[in-house]
Amino acid sequence: MSATAAVVRSDVRSARANAARRPVAYGAAALATLVAVWWLATAIPGLVPTRVLPSPVDVVVRFGALIAEPFSGATLFGHALVSLQRWSIGVLAAIGLGVPLGIALAWLPPLRAVVTPAFELLRYIPPFAWVPIAVLWFGATTTTQAAIVFIAAFPACIINTQLAVSQVDSILVRAARTLGAGAATTLRRVVLPVAAPTVFTGLRIAFGNGWMALVGAELIVGKQGLGFLISQGQINDSAATILVGMTTIGVLGALIDVVLQRLQRVALPWRPASAKPLE
Amino acid sequence: MAAAAASNAASPPAIAKMELRGVSKTFHARGGETRALEPCDLAIAKGEFVTVVGPSGCGKSTLMMIAAGLEAPSAGEILVDGRPAGPAGPSRTVVFQRFALFPSETVAENIAFGLRVARTERAEIERRVAEQLALMGLERFAGAYPHELSGGMQQRVAIARALAVRPDILLMDEPFGALDAQTRTVLQEEVSRLQRELHYTVLFITHSVEEAVYLSDRVVVMSRGPGRIKREIAVPRDARWRGLEIEAAGNDASFLAAKREIWELIRDEIVRQ
Amino acid sequence: MAATASARWFDAAPGADRTLPFWRREPGRAQWLAIAFASLAAMLFAWFALTRPDGLISPLFLPPPSEVWEAFVRLLKRPYLGSTLGQHVGASLGIVLGGWLLAGAVGLPLGIAMGWWPKVRWLAFPIFQILRPVPPLAWIPLAILWLGIGDSARIFVVFIAAIVPWVMNSMQAVDSIDGLLVRAAMTLGASDRQILTRVVCRTALPTLVAGARIALGNAWTTLVAAELLAATAGLGYIALNASRTLEIGILLVAMAIIGVLGALFSIGMQLLTRVVAPWSRAGSSA
């Protein structure tokens, strides 16, 4: 049944209860099938070597082991904590610098002319391309990792903030002026609250970018962290370790985003501006 | 039947509340220049309700933006109470077509905005907000956010917000243009009632001739763009149909005559294009 | 009539909104260029001044412009680490474009199918939802384990990096088509397949190209990282080695080339959007 027929049918009959249940059923079935195939493939002896693809059970066992005992310096929690620390520092720096700068760029057009050349030149260098020079400048320390996170998160912060602020309907600014508000009051009470939901969405993107960059940086330098964990897994030929690490990275990344979404809904209940944030 | 410019029975020869003298506007864009407004002279007396009508593109909105201080005229000056008007501010508040309510503030907070900016003391703010809520029938919605309200209610809030600061003159830029016909009728009647009771000084922009006649003491007709003031037509305050609903007023002969006269002037401009 | 003293606070350059102070006004084109140029010149000057022999910044930290220029010339003239600059660039480009196109060949049809047929979406979407949070770079160790340090490992990782945007954006492009258009086509007698090809794919084209652009950006970013870890040629490989041997000039040149190529990709895709879908206003930079 194609989408066109579905369009017509949904006009004729709204079967909301059914419509919600079926996708979930299909999705669950698809995932269950994948896991089953995976398990079968590894259960047949000789078909797939365990160093290449461990069985699901192996992965779960390894997960338990990593929580209980240190591997390459720390338990799973230990590595995760270190990663989160570095990520927080980088992301907070990106917000602290990016959001005010984004607001300034939106509010003061001449400033854009000053900043744009440098920004455009540097923007297309991927965060990882900065890793070698960051290592040279800061050594193999937390600062390097945090710097890479910062570089990854900063563009999204500043661009989306600028976009959000400049797309606040100018009629609201005019209304504020006619009511006697000066620039500071207008910014504080009208422009920023209206832009806030979109800024927040941009921040969520920046946070995600930062997390992805961190993992990469930890693959290359450092002695702790989730990225380090999975690279150690590769060196020790333990695919199970790698899979546990990857899952943890993915889960944490998704969790961060979900928490932020909830936070946004609670703190900023009014309808967001119509601006669409950039990836 | 129609009076020529400024022979309005209502105003004694005092200093006008607001005066635009020789106001013109030329926009400079990358391609060249656009003349939006030829030099215009307009005087509005205290307590007078003046409406500007004209064909699309005649520059009436530009005229309003200049009167509000949101646009600078290319030439000419704006005087309020005989003195040069300063930058845009609460002496000349504006009600916009698209409401322009602050989405992150409740109805009460929106109404109080101008007062808070002026650092009015809290007791006075609360008093005036309550007054406006009662005046516009918004008591039940004081704590609601704009996006929860219908268009008509939002515009009521906008009017309340503009009036709360007790402006010298109220500017209304096609305030009912974004509303459906029924809501528009209700609000027109309400504004008419408010005007008869409270005698605000109002500059009103619309493209509806019926609305202009119904609400105003004087109707200013503009020519097509670049606009200039073509003719001013007085609408007697003591006309028979004043105080009636629009439906009923629409049956009155003098009302229809005024409408026809104004419409002929506008149609003339549209046809000549 | 002349403007009187009351016009004092209106004075400013013609064309600007004179009710605002100058720092809130949008500069004209000439002014904009002047400011931008001055800013750039100031930065260059600072670079020169600070990296002089007796300057504040040591050449190990940031080499002077002359050294960077020499490094660039040297890379052009002689092979570095076994390949010429052209060969390195070619290696990087080959892998990125290969992985990206492969991901497109798989992801584009899959995404469109997911947008069009609900059943396909119900089956495939959860899988991508699970894949998405895992950063593509996190696949590198697994790729090395499975495929060794060779081209195939990097193509694999680039593929993974690109396929998620290809699929998700294509799906969303089809999904966001106004149902009204589909219904209109139906009333004109179009069959399912005709609607899919003639209405949906055409209208969704700008968004599809936008998805392709994001996928390319992802691919490029991931490739650079992959080359830092598992390569024998390519720009990332140059960067890594230059940092190890403290040839910072070469490192900076490699970074610059990486940036330039990234910019060219982005601009190229924007031009493509304009060629393929001139009616769209989409495709603004990101």
Segment C196-211, tens digit of pLDDT: 777 777 778 888 888 8
pLDDT of residue C232: 82
CATH architecture, domain A59-267: Orthogonal Bundle (1.10)
In a domain, B150, yes or no: yes
As given in the structure block, the two tokens for residue C42 are 């100031």
List phi, psi (to 5°) of C254: -60, -45
Q: Which of C1, C15, C19 sits opposite B22 (nearest CB)?
A: C1
Q: Which of C2, C4, C9 sits opposite B87 (nearest CB)?
A: C9
Most confident of B9-13, B176-180, C277-281: B176-180
**Using CB atoms, which chains have 3+ pairs under 8 A with C?**
A, B
pLDDT at residue A17 is higher than 90: no
Q: Which of A22, A109, A183 sits opposite C122 (nearest CB)?
A: A22
Q: Chain A closest CA to B194's CA: distance in Å? A: 21
Instruction: Calculate mean pLDDT across residues A55-83.
Output: 86
Which strand (E) or helix (H) includes residue B169?
Answer: strand B169-173
Q: Which residues of C touch A124 (CB under 8 A)?
A: 258-263, 266
pLDDT of residue C105: 95
In a domain, C282, yes or no: no
pLDDT of residue B13: 53
Q: Which residues of C touch A4 (CB under 8 A)?
A: 182, 186, 192, 195
Q: Which of C137, C229, C284 sits opposite A212 (nearest CB)?
A: C137
pLDDT at residue C31 is higher than 70: yes
In a domain, B18, yes or no: no
Q: Which residues pair with B202 in a beta bridge?
A: B49, B170
The whole-angstrom separation of Cα A80 and Cα A87 is 10
Instruction: Calculate mean pLDDT across residues C10-29.
Output: 61
Query: Which of A114, A124, A138, A186 has the highest number of chain C CBs within 10 A, making it the mutation to test binding with C?
Result: A124
Residue numbers of the domain that contains C240: 87-276
Any idea how long chain C is?
Answer: 286
* pLDDT, tens only, C105-153: 999 999 988 988 888 888 888 888 888 889 998 998 888 888 887 888 8
Do the Cβ atoms of B75 and C2 come within 8 Å? yes
Do the Cβ atoms of A271 and B165 come within 8 Å? no
Q: Which of B21, B22, B28 sits opposite C14 (nearest CB)?
A: B28
**Using CB atoms, which chains have 3+ pairs under 8 A with B?**
A, C
Do the Cβ atoms of A278 and C286 come within 8 Å? yes
**Which of A1-15, A78-92, C157-171 is predicted least confidently?**
A1-15
* pLDDT, tens only, C156-173: 999 999 999 999 999 988
Mark which residues 188-207 of C lie under 8 Å from A by CB.
Answer: 192, 195-196
Q: How many domains does chain C have?
A: 1
* pLDDT, tens only, B143-176: 999 989 999 999 999 999 999 999 999 999 999 9
Q: Chain A closest CA to B74's CA: distance in Å? A: 20
Q: Residue B2 — very low, low, confident or very high, per pLDDT cuts 50/70/90? A: very low
Q: Which residues of B touch C14 (CB under 8 A)?
A: 28
* pLDDT, tens only, B104-150: 889 999 999 999 888 889 999 999 999 999 999 999 999 999 989 99
Do the Cβ atoms of C122 and A51 come within 8 Å? no
- What b/e sequence results for B229-240 when a residue is b if at least 16 CB atoms lie within 10 Å of its CB, and e otherwise? bbebbbbeeeee
* pLDDT, tens only, A170-181: 889 899 999 988
Q: Which residues of A touch B161 (CB under 8 A)?
A: 179
Whether omega for the bond prior to residue B226 falls within 30 degrees of 0, making it cis, is: yes
Which has the closest alpha carbon to A8: C199, C190, C179, C121? C179
Mean pLDDT score across all residues of chain B:
88
In a domain, C235, yes or no: yes
Do the Cβ atoms of C19 and B78 come within 8 Å? no
Instruction: Give the number of B-C residue pairs with CB atoms closer than 8 Å.
Output: 37
Mean pLDDT score across all residues of chain C:
82
Nearest chain B residue to C5, by CA: B84
Q: Residue A50 — very low, low, confident or very high, per pLDDT cuts 50/70/90? A: low
The answer to whether B19 and B187 have CB atoms below 8 angstroms apart is no
pLDDT of residue A3: 63
Mark which residues 161-180 of B lie under 8 Å from C by CB.
Answer: none
Q: Which of C4, C5, C15 sits opposite B28 (nearest CB)?
A: C15
* pLDDT, tens only, B218-272: 999 999 878 888 889 999 888 888 888 888 888 889 999 999 999 999 988 888 7
pLDDT of residue A9: 55
Q: Which residues of C touch B39 (CB under 8 A)?
A: 1
- More confident position, C58 or A104: A104
pLDDT at residue B217 is higher than 90: yes
pLDDT of residue B210: 93
- More confident position, C273 or A82: A82
Which has the closest alpha carbon to B40: B227, B234, B232, B217? B227
Instruction: Calculate mean pLDDT across residues C24-50.
Output: 87
In a domain, B9, yes or no: no
Do the Cβ atoms of A178 and B102 come within 8 Å? no
DSSP A186: I
Residue numbers of the domain that contains B111: 102-166
Mean pLDDT score across all residues of chain A:
84
Nearest chain A residue to B118, by CA: A180
B96 at interface of A, judged by CB pairs closer than 8 A: yes
Q: Chain B closest CA to C6's CA: distance in Å? A: 6
* pLDDT, tens only, B8-44: 445 445 678 899 998 999 887 767 788 888 899 999 9
Do the Cβ atoms of A180 and B118 come within 8 Å? yes
In a domain, C261, yes or no: yes
Q: Residue A7 — very low, low, confident or very high, per pLDDT cuts 50/70/90? A: low
pLDDT at residue B4 is higher than 60: no
The 3-class SS string of chain C reads CCCCHHHHHHCCCCCCCCCCCHHHCCCCHHHHHHHHHHHHHHHHHHHHHHCCCCCCCCCCCCCCHHHHHHHHHHHHHCCECCECHHHHHHHHHHHHHHHHHHHHHHHHHHHHHHHHCHHHHHHHHHHHHHHCCCCHHHHHHHHHHHHCCCHHHHHHHHHHHHHHHHHHHHHHHHHCCCHHHHHHHHHCCCCHHHHHHHHHHHHHHHHHHHHHHHHHHHHHHHHHHHHHHCCCCCHHHHHHHHHHCCCHHHHHHHHHHHHHHHHHHHHHHHHHHHHHCCCCCCCCCC
* HSE-up of residue B169 (Cα within 13 Å, Cβ side): 28
B72 at interface of A, judged by CB pairs closer than 8 A: no
Instruction: Calculate mean pLDDT across residues A254-277.
Output: 73
Domain of residue C110, CATH code: 1.10.3720.10
Q: Which residues of B touch A180 (CB under 8 A)?
A: 89-90, 114, 117-118, 165
pTM of the predicted model over 0.90: no
Q: Which residues of A touch C248 (CB under 8 A)?
A: 133, 136
In a domain, B48, yes or no: no
Nearest chain A residue to B116, by CA: A181
The whole-angstrom separation of Cα A227 and Cα A248 is 10
pLDDT at residue A4 is higher than 80: no
In a domain, B208, yes or no: no
Q: Residue A113 — very low, low, confident or very high, per pLDDT cuts 50/70/90? A: confident
pLDDT of residue A27: 81
The answer to whether A268 and A197 have CB atoms below 8 angstroms apart is yes
Do the Cβ atoms of B77 and C29 come within 8 Å? no
pLDDT of residue A206: 92
B33 at interface of C, judged by CB pairs closer than 8 A: no
A44 at interface of C, judged by CB pairs closer than 8 A: no
Instruction: Give the number of A-C residue pairs with CB atoms closer than 8 Å.
Output: 203
The answer to whether B21 and C6 have CB atoms below 8 angstroms apart is no
Strand-pair category, B169-173 with B92-95: parallel
**Which of B233-242, C8-17, C222-231 is predicted least confidently?**
C8-17
pLDDT at residue A198 is higher than 80: yes
CA torsion sign, C85 to C87 to C88 to C93? Answer: positive
Q: Residue A16 — very low, low, confident or very high, per pLDDT cuts 50/70/90? A: low
A170 at interface of B, judged by CB pairs closer than 8 A: no
B137 at interface of C, judged by CB pairs closer than 8 A: no
Do the Cβ atoms of A193 and B104 come within 8 Å? yes
3-state secondary structure of B162: helix
Instruction: Calculate mean pLDDT across residues A187-201.
Output: 89
- More confident position, C187 or C65: C65
CA torsion sign, C186 to C192 to C198 to C204? Answer: positive
C266 at interface of A, judged by CB pairs closer than 8 A: yes
**Which of A72-76, A147-151, C65-69 is predicted least confidently?**
A72-76
Q: Chain C closest CA to A66's CA: distance in Å? A: 18
A37 at interface of C, judged by CB pairs closer than 8 A: no
